[in-house]
Amino acid sequence: MLVGKKAPEFTANAVVNGVIENGFSLSRYRGSKYVLFFFYPKDFTFVCPTELIGFQNALAEFEARDTVVVGCSTDSEFCHWAWANTPREQGGIQGVTYPLVADINKEVAEKFDVLAGEVCQDASGSCCYVGERVAYRGLFLIDKEGIVRHMVVNDMPLGRSVEEALRMVDALQHYEQYGEVCPLGWHKGQEAMQPTHEGVSGYLSR
């Protein structure tokens, strides 16, 4: 559980707007941007491009909310580059401009606790793995101070909602600006709730 904690630090290679970049880190956004950091299992698959293209289609909406979008999988930067430069009608994600982090050593997925599979030992005592070592569909909303404020992790067959991710950004920013908490199904422009000094029990009874 990372909510309320500092997002794990990492440095890795990435593909940014179709170009390989060395030494990418989320810390570049510290103090200036919100970050929507999401993991997906593999390049050149089926559900994954629907999500990556969906986030690209909504990128202007995230940018209007001072939020950057960053993707990550356990593929290499070269696989990311090939996918990002393959036309969509051929199974690629050409036109995706936000960073795609290459986590080929699986260290980033482990730090965010979204790495599938388990490490075990065989009869000879050698290290082995049960299950495929790729990332679940984890999504983390990180504030400008580097604190994780929202997270959701889906199993691999279950695609996420871009609209829900935007709603969470809106809710966090509303709370930060007005100090009001956001009830079930709240959307930007709707009435929120002013917490009382009695704490949780106080506003739950309102």
- What is the C-alpha R_g of the chain? 19
Residue 48 appears among annotated catalytic residues: yes
Query: Are 91 and 49 contacting, i.e. CB atoms less than 8 angstroms apart?
Result: yes
Q: What letter does residue 200 receive in the DSSP assignment?
A: H
CA distance 133 to 201: 43
Dihedral, 182, 196, 199, 148 alpha carbons, nearest 10:
30
Active site residues: 48
